[in-house]
Amino acid sequence: MLVRDYIVIGILILMMVVWLVFKLQRSAQVKGLMTRKLGYRWTRYLKRNVVLYRDLPSRYYEKIHGYMNVFLHDKKFVGCEGLLITDEIRLTIAAQASILLLYGDNEVYPEFHSIMVYPSAYYVTEDVNVGGGLMSTSKSLRVGESWQSGIVVLAWDEVLNNAQGESPGHNVVIHEFAHRLDQQNSDIEGVPLLDSAALYERWARILGAEFDALVDKLEQGEETVIDSYGATSPAEFFAVVSEMYFAAPKLLVENHLPLYLQLDEFYQLDPVRW
């Protein structure tokens, strides 16, 4: 072997050692964060201001506190339009995002790194192809977005309103972080990571039928229990019905029981019984 071959092998070995040390350090760090208790002042605030946390059975507290600790340690919060990021903002968002992870031993949104928080609804300007090679500028008002680049955008007044249960069936944090779960499965198509081919088949059959039924009802001018925004795409349908699963489970059970049961097979929390 030539000297340069030994150098290449040495560099590769060094890179492997550095990677292994990083993984071991990260594993120890996450383990410490997952077992750290959340302060009394924080839990008191959550019980007073976040309905989903207050209603959550106490057997889940240790696990959600662990996920929250990792979330708060890893994710960067950025205030927009002069908004000052406070513990109240960080806790309210972290708690609701972490509820989505309670179904298993999950990493805490590994492909997501930053949250941009606006004081209220914000405008987004987009270039829209109107055909014939022509583009048009469109401006829309939004309260949340999830970008594939690893950023979530939220409007704080909407987050707080939803957290306090003022908009039954709606929760922008649940909606946007359901998109994050969907994005872990590569394509954004309303299908999170599932454990087996049988689960994927059942998911596609039940959610596909419910999505088609929603589209048909809206086309016929009928009223629907599920928000019409869910008919935009299968991805938005998954996010919208995830909101209902957590924020209006009784309504979902009474009107779309197979859908509720399929979502519960994934989330495993059965919130209608809380």
How confident is the model over 93-131, as pLDDT tens digits? 999 999 999 998 889 999 899 999 999 999 988 766 666
Residue 184 pLDDT:
85
Task: Pick out the chain residues at pLDDT < 70.
Answer: 1-15, 17-33, 127-136
- CA 26: distance to chain centroid? 23
Alpha-carbon distances of 259 from 38, 140, 153, 203, 241, rounded to whole Å: 34, 31, 28, 9, 8
Residue 27 pLDDT:
63
Residue 200 pLDDT:
95
Distance (Å, rounded) from C-alpha 140 to C-alpha 154?
Answer: 14
Residue 148 pLDDT:
86
Distance (Å, rounded) from C-alpha 270 to C-alpha 272?
Answer: 6
Residue 232 pLDDT:
96
List the beta bridge partners of residue 140.
124
Can you give the pTM of this predicted structure? 0.87
Contacts of 210 (CB under 8 A, 6+ apart): 226, 237, 241, 256, 258, 259
- Domains, the chain, in order of start with CATH, read 13-167 (1.10.472.150), 185-274 (3.40.390.10)
Contact by Cβ (8 Å): 108, 66: no
Contact by Cβ (8 Å): 100, 177: yes
